[in-house]
Amino acid sequence: MGTLFEDLGAQFQQSFIEADRWQRYLDGIKISFLVTLGALCIGIILGILVAVIRTLHDQQKGSDRNILLRLLNSICQIYTTVIRGTPMMVQLLIMGFVIFKTSRNLVGVAILSLGINSGAYTAEIIRSGIMSIDPGQMEAGRSLGMDYITVMKDIIIPQAIKNILPALGNELITLFKDTSLVTVIGLTDLTKAAQQIQAKTYQAFMPYIGIAIMYLVVVMILTKLLGILEKRMRQSDRR
Amino acid sequence: MSTNTANPSTDEVLIRVENLRKSFGDNHVLNGISQDIHRGEKVVIIGPSGSGKSTFLRCLNLLEEPTEGHIFFEGTDITAKGTDINAIRRKMGMVFQHFNLFPNMTVRRNITLAPVRTGFMKQEEADKRADELLARVGLSDKAEAYPASLSGGQKQRIAIVRALAMNPDVLLFDEPTSALDPEMVGEVLEVMKELAEDGMTMAVVTHEMGFAREVGTRVLFIDEGIVKEENEPGEFFANPQNPRLQDFLSKVL
């Protein structure tokens, strides 16, 4: 029994302390955060864009749809179909080794890949949020002489976001965990850091259990923060 | 006899409706309505449910697009392609059955959003106007409240204020008291009466026959998508000609 603990202690020493290896986890998790944040921004912007185009298209009756709107709607549909129909890792491999094969900016490639992926899912979440808002809100806004975009931006989207916050939070958490896939294009995120340390020390237990705990703790903190945000956004319902 | 002599309607046609038809698929809701609404008139529209009266009102500011026919507002054909409908709607306020206040913003912002966003007023001007209008309907203390904290009657009065903030030439009311608890109907009708006395042009879809009689300058009976009878309120209620109207009035009065 004693030897087991001594053994674990030694492994811990090797995996985290020796040669300042903790620094590598820290650098890795910074990259993971950076990719999450960047991808989140791209995902939300793409998501809102696609959701608004598809809603606008669906709300208009057959004869009023103009060519441009139909074209945009088709592009959006192809986008969601392709992105949701192929594995994230395959998308990363294609982005890293086919489309941007000469790029040195791995962080940029990772952010773009995950952002484009996240956008397809976020779009569907936001679309469901927009559809959950009473059509009377749009009618009231338009009857006051405001244009479609203004009503969307000031009235519909803010209410929709509030309704879909739990689903968006889920998407954020998925996104954060999916950053571990960027190892396949050679970016040194948290997972890659653990792999590199395992290669040095020939020990798998401590690095991998270690990063699993780190991912878990971050997700738990994110969940807590989202809960607080949700509560604050609900305040206007009660006052 | 019309009881409203303070603000007689003028000869100026504000809204002209020509042969208005509206179908939803095979469902023909409006089957050819032609009407002139003059500046200063208070036109009350009554009829059984499903008769097309709300659809008629919603066509006037193109919330519903007519299938056939033309609508002119202050001389402009608003059904013509290329008409700036947003500019037209700024002159036509609308009040809805379910208020449709924006729940994500304060009462003040509900009122000032459209004037500011459409470039009609600066924020300070709009705030001042909101304060004046809120005082007029007795809700000055609610400027910073959120809609969820208001009663139905308060919400509808705010909705009227919101429409008034754009200084419209006409107000369209789509069953403004139908969603209210009975004890709150009075406060909303009171505000509408005051507006009428101030000379506002109004088109009101309602089931409040008392309001039609007292405030209306003309009452339309819409049934099966056409205007079956119209008259000034005294004659309209005392001497209904159309058998459908006689039947309808015997049920609601």
Complete DSSP assignment for B104-146: TS-HHHHHHHHHHHTTSS-HHHHHHHHHHHHHHTT-GGGTTS-
Give the range of the structural domain holding residue A177, as residue numbers without chain letter: 21-238
Confidence of residue A133 (pLDDT cuts 50, 70, 90): very high
Q: Is the pLDDT of residue A96 over 80?
A: yes
What is the least distance, in Å, from the CA of B98 to any CA of chain A? 8
Question: What 8-state DSSP symbol labels residue A156?
Answer: I
Identify whether A106 is part of a domain. yes
CATH classification of the domain holding A133: 1.10.3720.10
> For residue B85, which amino acid is it?
I
8 Å CB contact between B205 and B178? no
Query: What per-residue confidence (pLDDT) applies to A104?
Result: 84
Task: Extract the tokens encoding B79.
Answer: 């059904």
Residue A144's SS3 state is coil
Q: Does any domain span residue A102?
A: yes
Which tens digit of pLDDT belongs to each residue from A184-221?
Answer: 998 888 899 889 988 888 888 888 999 999 999 999 99
Q: CB distance from B163 to chain A under 8 Å?
A: yes
Predicted pLDDT of residue B1: 39
Task: Write out residues 69-88 of B within 8 Å (CB-CB) of A.
Answer: 86-88
Which three-class secondary structure state does DSSP give residue B151? coil
Residue A168 lies in a domain: yes
A9 within domain boundaries? no
For the cut 70, the answer to whether the pLDDT of residue A15 exceeds it is yes
Task: Name the phi and psi angles at B190, rounded to 5.
Answer: -60, -45
Cβ B86 vs Cβ A145: under 8 Å: yes
Are the C-beta atoms of residues A114 and A35 closer than 8 Å to each other?
yes
Confidence of residue B4 (pLDDT cuts 50, 70, 90): very low
In a domain? residue A155: yes
The confidence band for B167, taking pLDDT boundaries of 50, 70 and 90, is: very high
What is residue B158's three-state secondary structure? helix
Of the partner residues A143, A146, A239, the one whose CB lies closest to the CB of residue B146: A239
Please enumerate in sequence order all residues whose Cβ is within 8 A of that of B47, keeping only pairs 6 or more positions apart, or say none.
Answer: B53, B220, B221, B222, B223, B248
Q: Number of A:B CB contacts under 8 A? A: 77
Contact indicator for B111, B133 with CB cutoff of 8 Å: yes
Summarised one tens digit per residue, pLDDT across range A140-154 is 999 999 999 999 999
Q: Is A7 inside a domain boundary?
A: no
* Neighboring chain A residues of B63 at a CB cutoff of 8 Å: 139, 142-143
Q: Measuring CA to CA, how many Å separate B4 from each of B142, B192, B195, B204?
A: 32, 14, 12, 16
Give residue-wise pLDDT tens across range A22-66.
Answer: 888 888 899 999 999 999 999 999 999 999 999 988 877 655 568
How would you classify the pairing of strands B13-24 and B218-223?
unpaired
Q: CA nearest B192: which of B47, B59, B95, B63? A: B95
* Closest residue of chain A to B59, computed from CA coordinates: A143
Distance CA B97, CA B204 (A): 11
Q: Does B63 touch chain A (CB under 8 A)?
A: yes
Spatial CA neighbour of A142 closest among A132, A151, A133: A151
Are A154 and B93 a contacting pair at CB < 8 A? no
A143/B89 Cβ within 8 A: yes
Q: How far is CA B214 from the centre of its chain?
A: 16
- Nearest-CA neighbor of A125 among A61, A189, A177, A80? A80
What count of residues does chain B have? 253
Chain A residues closer than 8 Å to B117 by CB: 146, 150, 154
Q: B179 in contact with A at a CB cutoff of 8 Å?
A: no
Cα A47 from chain centroid?
A: 11
Q: Would you say residue A162 lies in a domain?
A: yes
Which range in A204-208, B1-5, B131-135 is most confidently predicted, on average pLDDT? Answer: B131-135
Residue B125, C-beta contacts closer than 8 angstroms, at least 6 positions apart: B115
Q: Which of A67-71, A174-178, B42-46 has the lowest mean pLDDT?
A: A67-71
Interface ipTM: 0.90
Strands (E) across chain B are located at 13-24, 27-38, 42-46, 68-73, 76-77, 92-95, 170-174, 201-205, 218-223, 226-231
Determine, yes or no, domain membership for A2. no
Structural domains counted in chain A: 1
| Conformation bin of residue B120: beta by default, left when phi > 0, alpha when psi is -120 to 50 | alpha
**Alpha-carbon distance A172 to A41, whole Å?**
10
Across the interface, do B90 and A144 touch by the CB < 8 Å criterion?
yes
Residue with structure tokens 């042969």?
B19
CA distance B209 to A138: 30
Q: Does A59 touch chain B (CB under 8 A)?
A: no
Shortest Cα distance, chain B CAs vs residue A156, angstroms:
9
Q: With an 8 Å Cβ cutoff, are A145 and B162 in contact?
A: no
Q: Flag whether pLDDT at A236 surpasses 70.
A: no
